[in-house]
Amino acid sequence: MLRMSDVFLVGNGAGFSGDRVDAPIPVVRSLVARGLPAAMFFECLAERTIALAQIEKRRDPEAGYEPMLERLLEPILADCAGAGIPILGNFGAANPMAAARCVARLARRLGLPALRIGVVTGDDVSDAVDLAALPAHEADAGFDLSAWTLVSANAYIGAAPLAEALARGAQVVVAGRTSDPSLAIAPLMHHFGWAEDDWQALAQGAACGHLLECGSQVTGGVFWDPGCKDIPDPANIGFPIAEVGRDGSLVITKPEGTGGIVDLRVVKEQLLYELHDPAAYLTPDVVLDITGVTLDQAGPDRVALRGARGHARPDRLKVTACYEGSWLGEGEVSVAGPNALARARATADVLLARVRQRGLGRRARADLVGVSSVHDSDDGALWRGYDGPEPPEIRIRLAVESATRDDADQAAREALAMLCCGTAGTAGARWRVTPRILTRSFLVPREMVPTEVTVREARAWN
């Protein structure tokens, strides 16, 4: 029989930068009410989020961390501090020190000047590692990056430095790039005293982190398909909580009184999410093998996972580098009613012809939203071949990759011009220009990525 003192709870408060900011509140309420040792983590860094943050930091040296940080932590910080629930997150993005100062200001404002805030740095290797000398591991395809400018290069840090910050008393641990599951593994390592080469225990932690790292995706988000896979109260999906046992048990659940669902279907979907070889899911802490995993519905909104296996961690760390060097121009207009399909096709062809004629883009694409877009190819194979019924409305979208901001803007404005030059009844133009970030990843020896842990009280972060 498992004693409750041998159970540690891990709650997730965000699955990406842009997640629901009120999601952490019921999770923390549940953790506090249950009274078991627990931690909260926030995953806020998609592949290129850090590059966009780096661009922000160039504009303002105190920016470049998760813009919703204060909004996410304000309602829960005092409760977590009071209940001894540490908070970990990669919300430091490109500027963990500035993020720590933000948390410190918030803590002081909430009357918590003694709150211990830890920062893990060292993931930013843009100056330390000569990437040009390394072979690419994964890359956005078909691009010659020699003409591009490096914006950021960050290693996926493992759990050990995060656990060290906890060992030094940190109540909030701010990191930049970490491996997502490591944010959940670190408090487990710290609580259970797992060794860095206890592959079996770490596999349990990695499975926990992998299932929780996308927040509501394991409690009904991305899952619900009305009429087929319904979930209760989708406006208030409860974010996940894992119960991790010293004996290797792992149960996924969610706070009482929240929407969403935890059942075998949703857990299977998230278990395989962004996973390639199920025998070798690579994290900096352990290689996770889920081929022996079994799942059981252990109660309402409770799924137990068994059989995760661990293998020795990779000896190299993944570094993702982000480059800038081109611009994306997008423009859209709508048509509706009789003959909409013919008008939409003609509009798409004219937009592509205008971009070609003016030499504005390296690549261009047109979509007929309502006929075919997200499933289509750059050459519009699906909408060009479409012979189904006439849709009531179609939105025509032009997307152009250009070498300069001005070219991208001019290309996008071609959609605007269709308001007067286009087919009958063309309406609703919108256009925008955004910088394009390309990524390429490399594998680097661990010793090239030394990390540093700084822990100070809120009053001392200035």
Contact set with another protein (CB under 8 A): 47-48, 138-143, 222-223, 225, 227-229, 264-265, 268-278, 290-295, 307, 328, 363-365, 367, 369, 373-378, 381-382, 397, 399-401, 436-439, 441
Written as one letter, the residue type at 146 is S
Question: Cβ 400 to another protein, closest distance in Å?
Answer: 8
Question: Cβ 370 to another protein, closest distance in Å?
Answer: 12
**Are the CB atoms for 423 and 349 separated by under 8 Å?**
no
Question: Cβ 17 to another protein, closest distance in Å?
Answer: 14
Question: Cβ 284 to another protein, closest distance in Å?
Answer: 16
Toward another protein, which CB reaches closer, 185 or 408?
408
Task: Round to the nearest angstrom and report the end-to-end CA distance of the chain.
Answer: 49
Question: Cβ 76 to another protein, closest distance in Å?
Answer: 29
How far, in Å, CA of 165 to CA of 190, rounded?
A: 9
Question: Cβ 95 to another protein, closest distance in Å?
Answer: 21
Question: Cβ 401 to another protein, closest distance in Å?
Answer: 6
Toward another protein, which CB reaches closer, 374 or 420?
374
**Are the CB atoms for 454 and 101 separated by under 8 Å?**
no
What would you report as the CA-atom Rg of the chain, rounded to the nearest whole angstrom? 24
Toward another protein, which CB reaches closer, 108 or 137?
137
Toward another protein, which CB reaches closer, 313 or 365?
365
Toward another protein, which CB reaches closer, 326 or 426?
326
CA atoms within 13 A on the CB side of 129: 28
Question: Cβ 142 to another protein, closest distance in Å?
Answer: 6
Chain-centre distance for alpha carbon 356: 36
Toward another protein, which CB reaches closer, 234 or 307?
307
Question: Cβ 267 to another protein, closest distance in Å?
Answer: 9
Toward another protein, which CB reaches closer, 13 or 380?
380
Question: Cβ 148 to another protein, closest distance in Å?
Answer: 11
Written as one letter, the residue type at 404 is T
Which residues sit opposite 294 in a β-bridge?
306
Question: Cβ 176 to another protein, closest distance in Å?
Answer: 19
Toward another protein, which CB reaches closer, 292 or 428?
292
Toward another protein, which CB reaches closer, 269 or 457?
269
How far, in Å, CA of 92 to CA of 52, rounded?
A: 13
Contacts of 97 by beta carbon, 8 Å cutoff, 6+ apart: 119, 121
Q: What is the dihedral of CA 229, 28, 85, 223, to 10 degrees?
A: 10
How far is CA 411 from each of CA 132, 326, 359, 397, rounded to the nearest angstrom? 33, 13, 9, 12
Count of CB atoms within 10 A of residue 450's CB? 11
Lay out the sheet containing 7-14: strands in order across: 294-299, 302-306, 250-253, 241-245, 7-14, 38-42, 87-89, 172-175, 116-121, 452-457
How far, in Å, CA of 195 to CA of 222, rounded?
A: 35
How far, in Å, CA of 358 to CA of 352, rounded?
A: 10
Which residues sit opposite 225 in a β-bridge?
229
How far, in Å, CA of 14 to CA of 221, rounded?
A: 12
How far, in Å, CA of 310 to CA of 308, rounded?
A: 7
Toward another protein, which CB reaches closer, 77 or 308?
308
Toward another protein, which CB reaches closer, 56 or 376?
376
Toward another protein, which CB reaches closer, 83 or 134?
134
| Nearest alpha-carbon partner for 272 in 264, 454, 233, 393 | 264
Question: Cβ 290 to another protein, closest distance in Å?
Answer: 7
| Nearest alpha-carbon partner for 206 in 271, 162, 117, 268 | 271
User: Residue with structure tokens 């669902």?
Assistant: 261
Q: Indicate the helix (H) or strand (E) that contains 216.
A: none
